[in-house]
Structure 1
Amino acid sequence: MKNYQHVLLTADFSEEGDLVAHRARQIANLYRAKLSIIHVLDNIPMPDTGYGTLIPLDQTTDYELLEAEKLKLIRLAERLHVEPGDRWLIWGVPREEIVRLAERQAVDLIVIGSHGRHGLAMLLGSTANGVLHDTRADVLAVRLS
């Protein structure tokens, strides 16, 4: 088995996301690897309760959304003991930004949550599926629900 040096946690801040975060921290500890976190804000944020990423409707500006998400990232990173230089909050398409950051930062394991969708949802793709097929790094998809 590969000895991982750099683990990247993809954070979505859902309740289920805590399981993914815990798993990433466990693996980083096991391999004594560096742990980094990325959270990608979609260009057009929309509430999606199926994924647990409900965006409060009282947030009226991109700045307010950015500040709220930044605070969530800081809290998660502090719980996981991730240094400020290893935290990323990025606007864009999640699949693309995760893969791009993993390549730039020499990440060798990406830990991501997966809802294991079937049928039409699977045909349309998911972030986990896109990352799995687009990256050179190993991917651990933690099943959610």
Structure 2
Amino acid sequence: MTIYQAKVAYDSASNGDKVTETYLLRAFNLTDAETMIAGAVSPKVRANSEGIEIKSITNKRFDDFLQHPADADTDVRYYVVKTESETESGATKRYTTLISAPDLDTAYRIATEKIHYKRIVSIVEHEAVDYLHKD
């Protein structure tokens, strides 16, 4: 499966304002990603509006996805962690990992515990509001 990033816009059912959101989706292909995003966002769309406008769906390359355990009360955020390590030949290899965690401190702790053999270059919060996937 591939991880995609989808940017969508719609008229909010709660207040009628135009909302633009970003989602991360693990899907088989673009068609599957479009179906997943439509299903997830449709309940949020105001009736009698133009519906959901999918602004873009792009393939995101992550070497790994690490999840912090969460429950219904956990505010989950997504962090993109860039790391690098040196190969036996002396070349630098770069990696990108997606981490779900409630805050930056937890994301950093997960990164240092789980990818300890690589040097952390950066940790940046991703704008995604949710990570959608099929079980």
More helix per residue? 1
Please indicate the TM-score interval, normalised by the length of the shorter structure: 0.3 to 0.5
TM-score of the superposed pair, with normalisation by structure 2 = 0.32
More strand per residue? 2
TM-score of the superposed pair, with normalisation by structure 1 = 0.31
